[in-house]
Structure 1
């Protein structure tokens, strides 16, 4: 069976809903998983209009209600009216809905209702203006999982290459001051722990030079 993945539409005032609508409409999502879209039905409809695609949707209240032989499923958050924000502009209203939906998605994950989730592009300024005063969504995830005081970070994987970074989502001028002995060592330890947990008994870890992200 393919994994059940929650697909959050992303920042409503950005390109996320359009991208997700296009991928759901052309069957790309269904090739890799059993998708459950997460977001407001009105935002999805707007995304479909921008993407020039139209597909039937089954609105469900919980993942257990999904008919996997039916149309694409949507968990309708009912938390954002398209009249309350302007596409292309930073919106605190949209940012709050983003944060609320990310927390809801993490709850689904903790309940094991889904196997994982992905999300369309976000806007960190809107996210913070909406009341979520954390550095980024990754810090929010750590807090939701009671992991904020433990080693955590952003991981990227492509084929056999796994990359972690010492800094992320901070102003460019602050990058160098965060490249400390302790921060570099902590990232190396996190890399080793993560790869060993994933089945690499003796991972080879290269340490790159300063690469402000």
Structure 2
């Protein structure tokens, strides 16, 4: 399979089932979920199950002029074949009215609940993977819910230690894994330890193998400018990153570096790039693949992917949002799920 192409299909086997949480109902989430679920590439690769509030989906369908049958189910085990889309309907915001484009606590609760229900469906075996549309963190905060991104959220939902969950951004043939994510830069530097770098390298190799890369080659960034130029601009490379890489190599992980993060992505021959802090990876992804990057949570027992862009409240209900990042996420998950099936059957 290429970066976002059709995954291999087991002869005679049904397509993988993937839950797709609608995200913030007041943003573009339901719009891009619906568009992605109807995309021919997605329908050839998997059976998506939308998860969220029917009222939000209906609003965005009308706003986009999409007239398609929506079959509502009450259990993730019910994903029938046929035309249209299937929705696991949740009472996402109770008696609160939907307020497109606005930040409200009810919207934040609805986004988190949809993602949690989707993850639970994966843990129960009703679906084989989970994708999530964008949330609005201010709305989640207004709801009083602790949330600092999907990797730690999925970790909590699956009883995985939060320090073992990482984010991998995916676009085209690029995969960028973050050692630290949504914390202040000073705190991020404190979090970068030899053990954490080793864990992210182990998680990266494991997910690459799951995605079909037999012998993953991993490039690793430094923390400091130019990877410190042999200690001229700091010593974290020599005291933390390089020792972690040596231990990783002793475990059979093929990794090279540390490289300067400003030039690393130009290097060919690597299946993934591991960076130390948020902006080292996100800047590259958002410059090279604007609004079409998928974010995969790795290190947890659930295959989970989200989009690397926001909920775009300012264009909600305007039929302006592209579903490409969701399509990318679904196709990658479908490929991984199909390979997992093949390995289990071997």
TM-score, length-scaled by structure 2? 0.55
Two-structure CA RMSD over aligned residues (Å): 2.7
**Aligned 8 A contact 2:168 2:176 in 1:** yes
Q: Gaps spanning 5+ residues in structure 1: where?
A: none
What displacement does 1:28 show? 5.0
| Structure 2 CA distance for aligned equivalents of residues 19 and 198 of structure 1 | 24
Task: Check conservation: 1:16, 1:121, Cα contact below 8 A.
Answer: yes
Corresponding residue for residue 65 of structure 1: 78
Alignment of 1:37-186 (within 5 A): 37-80=50-93, 84-148=97-161, 151-158=164-171, 161-171=174-184, 174-186=187-199
- 1:19 alignment counterpart: 32
Tell me the equivalent position of 2:247: none
Deviations 1:185-206 (A, max 9, x none): 4323332344356565643221
Deviation at 1:131, TM superposition (A): 2.9
- Counterparts of 2:123 and 2:156, CA distance in 1: 13
Kindly tell me: are residues 161 and 91 of structure 1, through their superposed partners in 2, closer, same or farther at Cα, counting changes over 3 Å? same
Which entry has the higher C-alpha Rg, 1 or 2? 2
Q: Deviations over 1:72-112 (max 9, x none)?
A: 11111122258534222221111111111211111100111
Name structure 2 gaps, 5 residues minimum: 1-13, 224-276, 280-346
Distance 1:195 1:30, change over 3 A: closer
Larger RCO (CA within 8 A; separation ≥ 6): 2
- Residues 209 and 27 of structure 1: CA distance in aligned 2, closer, same or farther (over 3 Å): same
Partner of 2:48: 35
TM-score (norm. length: structure 1):
0.84
Secondary structure of residue in 2 paired with 1:164: strand
